[in-house]
Amino acid sequence: MTENENTLDCIEAVKKIKAAILQSRYMAARLANAEQLKLYFGIGAYVSANSREHKWGTGAIEAISRRLQIELPGLRGFSARSIKYMRTFYEAWNAAGVIRQLPSAELEQGQILHLPIATIQDNTNRQSSIADLPSEDIAAFLQIGFTHHISLLEGCKDMAERWYYIRRCAAEFWSVEALKAHIKADDFRKYGVLPNNFALTLPDARQAAMAVRAFRDEYLLDYINIDDADSEQDVDERELNKALVREVKKFIQSLGHDFCYIADGFRVIDEDEESFIDLLFFHRGLKCLVAIELKRGRFKPIYLGQLNYYLSVLDDRERHPDENPSVGLILCREAKRRIVELAIRDFGKPMGVATYRLGSDIPKDYSTLEPLVSGVQQILDKADDTDVGVK
């Protein structure tokens, strides 16, 4: 065997072993998270049965937490607050009828939701079940961390809304802070209602439906702070554009995980006339280019003519043969739905109009809800990776 062949064999061996290691780590983390949820659900059941029935006196949970720290030095995730969260976790899902008792072997296969009380006995002997929980929902439920679950229970009262965020958390690997941001932006009610002409301009009905689901009708850009201008005036959007580019990672997060950033100020030329598209993305699901035009003021019908031209140039100059027609989005400060619907329906290119809110729109009383400075985010993400308990 030559030295070159030996090197190639080594590279291939490393590739396969690395893949096996990463897959094993993923499976171990997935099973560990499921076991942790099982433990927390069981503890929550036990605490609920004893604290709600007044078997324990005032301060019992705090005393239990302190004693646990003595018995198990260095134990994390079992503060009094965390134990109360475990009780909340149990009561919310038990009352909803989602939890059921099933063999642990099925849990390990990730096919059936199985969060038993384990070795802790629930004196109330309550059991709830649901007949037809989809396997993908079960897997998603078990995949996300306990802190994610608590954020969902605190931020979402509607069961359909909770399941929406559980699915997206699992599919897009959101951090806890990303989940909170999406809940705050009210994704659940904002997706699928964008004023658009997709049904009229996209050749495939499924493609049109997917395009509607890809965009929200309003975006919360609370990480952008710029002085607002009179919405009736024509103003320069470069300041907003620069602010979004500085925070492009957060902007992509607000758009959705299928959006791939290409450029800002993307230059297009036709007949020696050059124009610049504010933001250009590629959407993996739609398999098309997405042009986004930023407007600091109120929506005006003339904006659609400009965007329609950009989409024509993109389709003519940039679109690959295997890609779908380019889609455009006007992102403006405010818009009247009826005006948008009338203005957009006769254009030949697929377009939609969405609005946005800035951090300055949030009432001062709620200013503490705004994202923390960079750096704190990294600390929170690291803590979430190492300890799913709430501190």
What's the CATH number where 207 sits? Answer: 3.40.1350.10
Is 382 among the domain residues? Answer: no
| Structural domains in the chain (count) | 3
The tokens describing 54, both together, are 């007044």
Is 391 among the domain residues? Answer: no
The residue range of the domain holding 173 is 144-187
Residues in the chain: 391
Going through the chain in order, the beta strands assigned E by DSSP cover 218-221, 259-270, 273-283, 288-298, 327-334, 351-358
Q: Let me know whether 174 and 77 are in one domain.
A: no
Q: Which of 104, 131, 158 is the last residue of a domain?
A: 131
pLDDT by residue for the chain (391 residues), tens digit each?
Answer: 555 656 767 877 777 777 777 777 767 777 888 888 888 888 888 888 888 877 888 889 999 999 898 888 888 888 999 999 999 999 888 876 555 533 343 333 333 333 343 333 333 333 333 335 677 788 888 888 999 999 999 999 888 889 889 988 888 888 898 888 888 878 888 777 788 899 899 888 888 888 888 888 888 787 776 554 444 443 467 777 777 877 877 788 778 878 999 998 999 888 888 889 999 999 999 999 999 999 888 899 999 999 999 999 999 999 999 999 999 999 998 899 899 999 998 999 999 999 988 765 544 443 433 333 333 334 334 444 444 444 3
Is 329 among the domain residues? Answer: yes
Is 137 among the domain residues? Answer: no
DSSP one-letter string for 271-326: TTEEEEEEEEEEETTTTEEEEEEEEEEE--THHHHHHHHHHHHIIIII--TTSPPP
Global confidence as pTM: 0.56
Can you list the alpha helix ranges (DSSP code H) found in 215-247? 238-246
**Long-range residue pairs from 108-114, CB within 8 A, at least 24 positions apart, any chain:** 108/31, 110/30, 110/34, 110/135, 110/138, 110/139, 110/142, 111/135, 111/138, 111/139, 112/138, 113/138, 113/141, 113/142, 114/34, 114/38
Q: Which of 131, 153, 170 is the last residue of a domain?
A: 131
Q: Let me know whether 69 and 126 are in one domain.
A: yes
Is 13 among the domain residues? Answer: yes
Q: Which of 121, 155, 187 is the last residue of a domain?
A: 187
Q: Let me know whether 273 and 169 are in one domain.
A: no
Map residue 22 onto helix, strand or coil.
helix
pLDDT at position 127 is 38
Q: Check if the beta carbon of residue 140 is closer than 8 Å to that of residue 128.
A: no
Map residue 90 onto helix, strand or coil.
helix
Q: Check if the beta carbon of residue 369 is closer than 8 Å to that of residue 362.
A: yes
The tokens describing 69, both together, are 């720290």
Q: Tell me how far apart the alpha carbons of residues 112 and 104 are, in angstroms, rounded to a whole number.
A: 9
Q: Let me know whether 279 and 252 are in one domain.
A: yes
Q: Let me know whether 43 and 167 are in one domain.
A: no
Q: Let me know whether 292 and 181 are in one domain.
A: no
Q: What are the angstrom distances between the C-alpha of 95 and each of 48, 126, 147?
A: 12, 10, 20
Q: Which of 218, 260, 266 is nearest to 241 (CA)?
A: 266
138: DSSP letter: H
**Long-range residue pairs from 126-130, CB within 8 A, at least 24 positions apart, any chain:** 126/45, 126/94, 127/100, 127/101, 128/94, 128/95, 128/96, 128/97, 128/98, 128/99, 128/100, 129/97, 129/99, 129/100, 129/101, 130/97, 130/98, 130/100
Is 136 among the domain residues? Answer: no
Q: Let me know whether 226 and 364 are in one domain.
A: yes
Is 73 among the domain residues? Answer: yes
Rounded to an integer, what is the distance from CA 48 to the centroid of its chain?
A: 31
pLDDT at position 6 is 64
Q: Let me know whether 230 and 341 are in one domain.
A: yes
Q: Let me know whether 256 and 276 are in one domain.
A: yes
Q: Let me know whether 183 and 51 are in one domain.
A: no
Measure the N-to-C terminal CA separation of the chain; round to a whole number of Å.
Answer: 58
Q: Let me know whether 153 and 38 are in one domain.
A: no
Place of tokens 């396997």: 135
Q: Let me know whether 274 and 358 are in one domain.
A: yes
Is 151 among the domain residues? Answer: yes
The tokens describing 317, both together, are 């100059």
Stretch (H or E) spanning 196: none
